[in-house]
Structure formats: structure tokens, C-alpha cells
Structure 1
Amino acid sequence: MDFISQVGERQHVLVTEESFDAQYNVAHNKFYEQVLVPKKPEFKGKMIEVDIYETGKHFMKGQPVGDANVFTPSIAKPLEKGEVSGLIHEFSAVHQNGINGNAASSSAVLLQQSWRPDGVTVKVISVGLALLAVIVAYAMEKLG
């Protein structure tokens, strides 16, 4: 790709993540071309307007226009690096229900709350385990 013709253009970009070298935030324009922008936490997950001032083989660098106000706010707060979607809300719900303790006990409580087998599920699991036991016994007999 040759981005040199885009130097001087003004583009709207969506800031999605931190760059590999942690010096910039990575954004993408409407063609999903990578644009590096200054690393500011308030940009993550937002659409900003930038002027393209430098290009490389696989990227462009953009300088936010003016005071770099957010162009289009995102619906939700962007995830922090390493954060997994949904976990924070589930754990906070467990703690709000009066269940406190370490992460292991919170995980056990979440598992108990999210999966409760009904009668049919218990029967299917029981039949599956019985079938597995028969297969293992048959295999042991043939091998032994």
C-alpha cells in the first residue's frame, strides 16, 4: 500500500487499541487503514478527526484536529488492556448481592448461579457417563 498520497488529508478515525510498541493508539479510517494517533486514554473507543502528517509502508500517523474533541462517542467504556468483556459486571453483581470473598469463591458462586441442571439434563449426563464407563470397560478388556 502506498499512503503517501494521503498526507495532508483530514480523516475520521476510530481509535481501537494501543500500538504494539505502546507509543501510540491505533485507529482505523473508513477503509480500515491503520492510523497511529497520540496516546491519550480519552481517545480509546472514540471517533476523532485527524490530519495525516506522515506515512509508512503499513501505517499513517494522524494529528488530532484542534482540541481533539470526540467526534462520535462510543456506546460503552472501552475495555482496558487484558480486560475480558463481561467479567467485571458479573463479579460486581456477585459482590452487590452480599457475597464477598476471594476470586476463587466468587468464580464458584458465578458457576453455581449460571448453570443449574434440570431433570432432563441430569438424565442425559447420567446416561452419557454410563455409556462412557461401558466403553472404557470394553477397551480395558480388549487391551488386557
Structure 2
Amino acid sequence: MALLVGERQHVLVTEESFDAQYFVSHNKFYEQVLVPKRAEFKGKMIEVDIYEAGKHFLKGRPVEESTPFTPSIAKPLQKGEVSGLIKEPIAHGIHGPASSTPPSSALWIGSYRLDRELLKTLGVGLTVAAAILAFIIEKLY
């Protein structure tokens, strides 16, 4: 890890360190990089210069001309929003899509539309989990 001293890296700040002196972040190799505790860093991607390396950590100094940003391809969810569900307007008490063409692969739950592909993936995942659980129980007894 000592070879990394002097490198400039992008890191994602995720939590507070156990000693509460730093924020913990991780680089693209998931190596732990300690950065100064600044409220504007939490949950953001920042650019740092690595200035110290220990056995299981690096320490990074934020690059002054760099701006923290939220690494996401979608806007963050609002409080109370659930991912995977799309709220559609209710017109005249009838649940339906905003456009005149109904979606062919959607399930309506109240005024929410749930994609059938998401349901298939969930079903397959639950089936695999049940099979693994059955295997483990069989081996234990």
C-alpha cells in the first residue's frame, strides 16, 4: 500500500471511523481510505491525494479544486418513495397509465405499477433461496 502514497484517487465516503476522527471511504479497489470529517463529504464521491499508508488503510487529503458529487445515474429518492414502483395518476377513479397505450408487462397494485420483469427476478431469487435453505436443513438433520 505504500506505493499508493502520492496518488490521486476518487473515493466514496460512506461512514464515520470507529475513533470518530475521520470519515471512512473506499477507492475503486475497495481499499479503506480515511478522509477528514466534513459534513459535505458524507455519501459523496470526492477526489483525494493519498499522503499516508498503513497496513489496512490509506489516508487521503481532499483536492481543493475538486467538488464532491453524488455518484448516481438517477436522482435520489424522496422521503417515502420506494424504488421499483412507479406512481401513476388516477383519472376518474380508474387506475391506468398516463398515456393511452397500456403497458403490456406491468402489474397494477393500487395506483402503483410494478414491472413484471422485476417480479420474475424476485420469484427466481426466492426459489433459489428456498432450494438452498432446503439443502442446508437436509444436511443438518
What TM-score, normalized by structure 1, do the two folds share? 0.49
AA partner of residue 50 (structure 1): V
C-alpha RMSD of matched pairs (Å): 2.3
Query: 3-state DSSP class of the match of 2:40?
Result: helix
**Structure 1 residue 76: deviation in Å?**
3.7
Partner of 1:28: 26
AA partner of residue 57 (structure 1): K
Query: 3-state DSSP class of the match of 2:3?
Result: helix
Partner of 1:12: 10
Contact 1:49 1:71 in 2 (8 A): no
Structure 1 stretches of 4+ with a deviation exceeding 3 A read: 71-77
Query: 3-state DSSP class of the match of 1:5?
Result: helix
Distance in 2, Cα, partners of 1:42 & 1:21: 19
CA deviations 1:66-114 (Å, max 9, x no partner) are 155214455549xxxxxxxx9x749xxxxxxxxxxxxxxxxxxxxxxxx
Contact 1:48 1:72 in 2 (8 A): no
* 1:58 maps to 2:74: no
Query: 3-state DSSP class of the match of 1:42?
Result: helix
AA partner of residue 29 (structure 1): N
Percent of counterpart pairs with the same letter?
72
Out of 39, 46, 49, the residue aligned to residue 37 of structure 2 is 39
Gaps of 5+ in 2: 82-141
Query: 3-state DSSP class of the match of 1:12?
Result: strand
- Which structure has more strand as a fraction of its residues? 2
Distance in 2, Cα, partners of 1:76 & 1:53: 32
What is the total number of aligned residue pairs between the two structures? 79
CA deviations 1:38-57 (Å, max 9, x no partner) are 00111011000000000111
AA partner of residue 19 (structure 1): S
Distance in 2, Cα, partners of 1:71 & 1:44: 10
CA deviations 1:10-59 (Å, max 9, x no partner) are 00000000001000000000000000000011101100000000011100
AA partner of residue 57 (structure 2): F
- Structure-to-structure mapping, 1:1-144, within 5 angstroms: 3-73=1-71, 75-76=75-76, 89=80
Structure label with greater radius of gyration: 1
Query: 3-state DSSP class of the match of 1:15?
Result: strand
